[in-house]
């Protein structure tokens, strides 16, 4: 039985994602498909422009049978932690075939990059270049240039989807070494492109930029339902952060996850000199602290995430949505796996759940829907409920 696993963020869900799901299923011919979906926040620290409930229901429309949540604590970290956490959830749910998008659709090359990147020689070079003041990406690029003369590897290894692909392969080595892999080559414009493509496939980055300026993106997405404007989200983010820095001491800020090496002083200085969220993160940015890392810090500050949770893996088996095939599949799982399943936060506690609920309340404030967090206490009813919601 082929159990296909997918890792998705969908910020927002666009036609490129539809293509990816269709190709992944076509190439692997699965009996059942599971997706792990980032909740209301993305790995790179962005706030999602569509909430996780809307995105989960859309995945049911496009052939996914069961959607599991990657919690905030499992999402808000570097690529290595993100990849491990997602593969762990999929593996625990029985995945034996993983598909992911790439710029370089040659598995042998990706495995070679993985071998180099997780070698002792690469680590030593990284330490050397970081001590010289290079950024992480700069040190990584220089180390790879020194250890490989292959031009394809040199030009491809640091591209966004390839970076995650290498992380997934590394996680599979530890968690699920017998799992098969399917690569789906990225189409349309590139991840960081900020302008819309002239085809129907445009990057999530360009779509978010278009939403910011209220442009029509209907040609690029399956549905325009439930979108939030990133500019309004950032306005509220900045306001909330101003309040935190007005009411908390530097000593308190030092206790939050990701806040180290005196970066809190840059925050304290530039929040007084900035008038917008984007201006603030641009001011704080350094070679050692790229914008994505700063975005994650801001969320950790607002959620008051304690530093002791650093360098840990955070997963749970939380169901966001499922169809009838999903309900049938759950019955085939082992008793120990069934006991770990979470369908609602009602009467549930623990650091991951408590943090997720807090993150959900913050998200509701940021998108102007303060009661949205109540969805955390509702049990997904499967395909019947989905059909009723779609038709209502």
* CA–CA distance, 301 with 369 (Å, rounded to integer): 21
Q: Is the peptide bond before 12 cis (omega within 30 degrees of 0)?
A: yes
* CA–CA distance, 338 with 148 (Å, rounded to integer): 46
Same domain, 136 and 259: no
List of residues 6+ apart from 307 with CB closer than 8 A: 254, 255, 256, 257, 258, 259, 260
Domain range for 132 is 108-158
Structure tokens at 29: 């011919």
pLDDT in tens, 187-238: 876 666 667 877 778 889 999 999 999 999 999 999 988 899 999 999 999 9
* CA–CA distance, 192 with 68 (Å, rounded to integer): 27
Count up the domains in the chain and report the number.
3
Structure tokens at 348: 């549930």
pLDDT for residue 173: 98
In DSSP notation, 115-134 reads HHHTSHHHHHHHHHHHHTT-
Same domain, 300 and 322: no
* CA–CA distance, 171 with 167 (Å, rounded to integer): 6
Same domain, 117 and 259: no
Structure tokens at 235: 């306005």
CA distance to 73, 151, 362, per residue, from 13 (Å): 22, 33, 22
The domain boundary, picked from 288, 309, 330, lies at 309
Same domain, 165 and 145: no
pLDDT in tens, 89-146: 999 999 999 999 999 999 999 999 999 999 999 999 999 999 998 888 899 999 999 9
List of residues 6+ apart from 231 with CB closer than 8 A: 212
CA distance to 35, 299, 344, 359, 374, per residue, from 369 (Å): 26, 18, 20, 13, 11
pLDDT in tens, 276-321: 999 999 999 998 899 999 999 999 999 999 999 999 999 999 999 9
- What is the value of pTM for the model shown? 0.94
Same domain, 120 and 154: yes
In a domain, 204, yes or no: no
């Amino acid at each position: 039985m082929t159990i296909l696993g997918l890792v998705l963020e969908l910020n927002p869900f666009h036609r490129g994602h539809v293509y990816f799901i269709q190709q992944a299923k076509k190439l692997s011919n699965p009996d059942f498909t599971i997706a792990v979906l980032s909740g209301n926040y993305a790995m790179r620290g962005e706030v999602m422009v569509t909430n996780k409930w809307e995105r989960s229901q859309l995945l049911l429309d496009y052939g996914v049978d069961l959607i599991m949540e990657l919690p905030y604590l499992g999402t808000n970290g570097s690529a290595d932690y993100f990849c491990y956490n997602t593969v762990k959830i999929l593996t625990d749910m029985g995945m034996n075939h993983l598909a992911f998008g790439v710029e370089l659709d040659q598995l042998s090359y990706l495995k070679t990059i993985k071998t180099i990147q997780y070698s002792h020689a690469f680590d030593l070079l990284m330490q050397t270049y970081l001590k010289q003041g290079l950024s992480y990406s700069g040190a990584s690029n220089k180390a790879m240039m020194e250890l490989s003369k292959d031009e394809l590897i040199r030009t491809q290894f640091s591209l966004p989807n390839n970076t995650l692909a290498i992380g997934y392969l590394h996680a599979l080595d530890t968690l699920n070494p017998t799992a098969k892999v399917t690569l789906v080559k990225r189409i349309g414009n590139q991840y960081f492109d900020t302008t819309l493509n002239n085809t129907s496939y445009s990057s999530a980055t360009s779509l978010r930029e278009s939403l910011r300026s209220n442009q029509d993106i209907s040609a690029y997405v399956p549905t325009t339902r439930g979108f939030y404007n990133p500019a309004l989200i950032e306005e509220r983010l900045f306001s909330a952060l101003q309040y935190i820095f007005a009411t908390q001491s530097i000593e308190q800020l030092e206790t939050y996850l990701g806040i180290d090496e005196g970066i809190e002083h840059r925050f304290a200085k530039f929040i007084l000199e900035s008038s917008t969220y984007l201006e603030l993160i641009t001011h704080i940015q350094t070679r050692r602290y790229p914008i994505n890392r700063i975005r994650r810090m801001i969320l950790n500050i607002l959620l008051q995430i304690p530093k002791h949770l650093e360098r840990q893996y955070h997963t749970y088996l939380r169901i966001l949505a499922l169809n009838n095939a999903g309900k049938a599949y759950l019955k085939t799982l082992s008793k120990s796996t069934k006991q770990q399943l979470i369908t609602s936060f009602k009467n549930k506690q623990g650091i991951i759940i408590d943090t997720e609920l807090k993150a959900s309340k913050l998200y509701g404030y940021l998108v102007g829907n303060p009661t949205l967090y109540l969805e955390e206490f509702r049990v997904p009813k499967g395909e019947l409920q989905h059909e009723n919601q779609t038709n209502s």
